[in-house]
Each structure stands twice: as structure tokens, then as C-alpha cells.
Amino acid sequence: MSDEKSNEFPELPDNQRGLVVEEEEPKLKKPPLYQVVLLNDDYTPMDFVVEVLELIFGMDRQKATRIMLEVHTKGKGRCGVYTYEIAETKVAQVSSYAQQHQHPLMSTMEEA
């Protein structure tokens, strides 16, 4: 062995030395959320509203009854908070199910 320092990497002139750059993790932001709201009307039976809340929103009878009473007394009630696509699907399901059973029940989605 000679007196030279043992280097794993060969010496490069200053103008050929590379920089190591770490890529920054992409910054992901959470998608906006939307709340699905049932609207009160004078024709849809309360039992049907409870049925919709149980069937489409997966609520138990007690929670569904509480939200149905909120819809009845305050004019509207929040059924859940979802991403845009899921909220849109829930609104369409409520509309379709109500029409199949000949009720005018309506729902909307609002930015949460």
C-alpha cells in the first residue's frame, strides 16, 4: 500500500462534484368534506324518514329518530359528513328511494 489515502470514490475536480438533493415529500391536502342534509316537508311520514336514515346512512333506530325529530322541528337535519363523491351518491340514493316509495323527501349537500 502506498501513503495515499484510500478513498472509495475517486477525487473529482470542483466543477464535477455533484450535489445530493433529497426530494421533498409531496404535500397532500385532505379533500373538502360535505354534509348531507335532509329537508323537512309536510308529506313524508316520520317513519319513512327514520327508515331512510337507517338504510342509507347506517344509523341505529335511536340516532335515526333523533335526526328525524331535528328535521321535523328545525326544518333540516345533518345525516353525515363525507367526501364530495360519497355525499353526492347519498343524496342520489335518498332521492331515488323516496321516489320509489312515492314520497317527496329531499336532501342536499353543503360544504362542511
pLDDT on residue 26: 86
**CA dist., res. 110 & res. 100, Å (int):** 25
pLDDT on residue 59: 98
Element (H, E) at 52: helix 46-57
Residue 68 pLDDT level (bands cut at 50, 70, 90): very high
Residues 86-96 have pLDDT tens digits of 999 999 999 99
Phi, then psi, of 92 in degrees rounded to 5: -65, -40
Element (H, E) at 78: strand 76-83
